Structure formats: C-alpha cells, structure tokens
C-alpha cells in the first residue's frame, strides 16, 4: 500500500521536483529562523538518498548551529593563520575576523564529508561523487521546504588541520559547507538554463 501511495504521489507532483531544481539558488547570507529539527532531518534524509555506487554510504554530516558556529570559527581562523605562516605571511586582524565569522552567515551549517574507503573496489572519485550528489539533494530539499541555502568550499575544505578538527582522516574529503536558513524574499529565483541543448552532443 505504501508503494502504491508513493507512486501516486510521484505521478501527481512531477512539476514540484522540477520546480525545486529550477528555483534553487545560492544565497550568500541567510537569517533566522534556524531550520527546525524536523526540517534538518528531512534535508539529511535527502542527502543520504543520493546515488551511491557500492552502497558505501561515504557521506558524513557535521552540523553547526548556535554557539558551535562561533567556536568552530576560531578553529577556521587558527587554520588560516597557519596556512599563511607556511607561505611566509602573517594574517591581518581583518582576515582573522572574516574567517572567524564565516559560519555566522547562516543559522545552520552542515559540513558534508566523504569518508573514503581506501580498501573498496569503488574508485575514490566515485565515493566523492556520491557525497557531492548528497549535497545537491540537500539543497533541493531545502528549496522544497522553502528554505534558502548556499554550497561553499574554500581553502579550509582542503586543510589537513580542519580535517583533523572534524575527526576526519587525511584521505577523507570535505565536499562542501552547506548553509541553511531563511532567504530574503526579494532575491527572486533561478530560471532554467537558456538553450540547454547547446551543451549536448549526440554520439553516432
């Protein structure tokens, strides 16, 4: 019975899926209210439903909200200072302040990480691809829920110090920092790509 109901729902709402894809946009700064626990669970569930060759479930979701954002901002700033020192530079006060405040650009941030199984026959690139697909699923779920979102990366995503702070191995990867919150309703939405078929080649 559940399968029948799900199939009926899918048949009745194809446009809703396309709308989530076309309406999704990146919003640089997001405000309160914080997504509810129920909304967060829905977003995580969407991420964990991504295509996954070998069923390895390589994704891990690390959530930052409330004071945790500012606390981890101190870690980001420390990592920045270390990176610049390795290059022979000293971080300025404004650089440190900017780095400390990065996670404060939204009320809730999720670091989406690929925990790589190096013993698996599944190529590493495919394990990362599954995690990237999880990111997109999460953004689409947020859009469907009426939330704003942003997918960010940056140097911190590749910094061994940050990986260690997140209890990741050196071979693990951070696919992105996903920001969630409420978007300004005046920002508008994306429109489908103009002339999408110009990117298509038919092999014959």
Residue with tokens 């026959």: 121
Cα first-last separation, the chain: 44
Task: Report the pLDDT value the prediction gives residue 62, as an integer from 0 to 100.
Answer: 99
Q: Is there a contact between 39 and 147 (Cβ–Cβ < 8 Å)?
A: yes
Three-state secondary-structure class, residue 31: strand
Rounded to 10 degrees, what is the CA torsion of 68, 49, 185, 152?
50
CATH topology for the 29-184 domain = NADH Oxidase (3.40.109)
Q: How confident is residue 189, by pLDDT bands cut at 50, 70 and 90?
A: low
pTM: 0.90
Span 66-110, pLDDT tens digits: 999 999 999 999 999 999 999 999 999 999 999 999 999 999 999
The predicted model gives 160-181 an average pLDDT of 98
Token output for 20 = 């989530």
Task: Report the pLDDT value the prediction gives residue 8, as an integer from 0 to 100.
Answer: 45
Domain boundaries, the chain: 29-184
**For residues 134 and 49, what is the distance between their CA atoms, to the nearest angstrom?**
7
Q: Is there a contact between 35 and 134 (Cβ–Cβ < 8 Å)?
A: no
**For residues 9 and 46, what is the distance between their CA atoms, to the nearest angstrom?**
17
């Amino acid at each position: 019975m559940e399968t029948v109901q799900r199939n009926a729902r899918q048949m009745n709402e194809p446009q809703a899926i396309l709308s989530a894809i076309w309406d999704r946009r990146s919003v640089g700064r997001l405000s309160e209210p914080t997504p509810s626990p129920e909304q967060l669970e829905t977003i995580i569930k969407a991420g964990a439903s991504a295509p996954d060759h070998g069923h390895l479930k390589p994704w891990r979701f690390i959530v930052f909200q409330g004071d945790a954002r500012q606390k981890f901002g101190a870690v980001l700033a420390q990592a920045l200072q270390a990176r610049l020192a390795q290059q022979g530079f000293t971080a300025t006060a404004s650089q440190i302040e900017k780095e400390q405040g990065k996670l404060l650009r939204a009320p809730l941030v999720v670091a989406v990480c690929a925990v790589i199984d190096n013993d698996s026959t599944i190529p590493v690139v495919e394990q990362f691809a599954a995690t990237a697909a999880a990111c997109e699923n999460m953004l689409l779920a947020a859009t469907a829920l009426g939330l704003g979102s942003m997918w960010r990366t940056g140097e911190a995503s590749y910094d061994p110090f940050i990986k260690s702070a997140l209890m990741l191995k050196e071979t693990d990867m951070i696919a992105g920092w996903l920001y969630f919150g409420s978007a300004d309703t005046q920002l508008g939405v994306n429109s489908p790509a103009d002339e999408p078929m110009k990117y298509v080649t038919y092999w014959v």
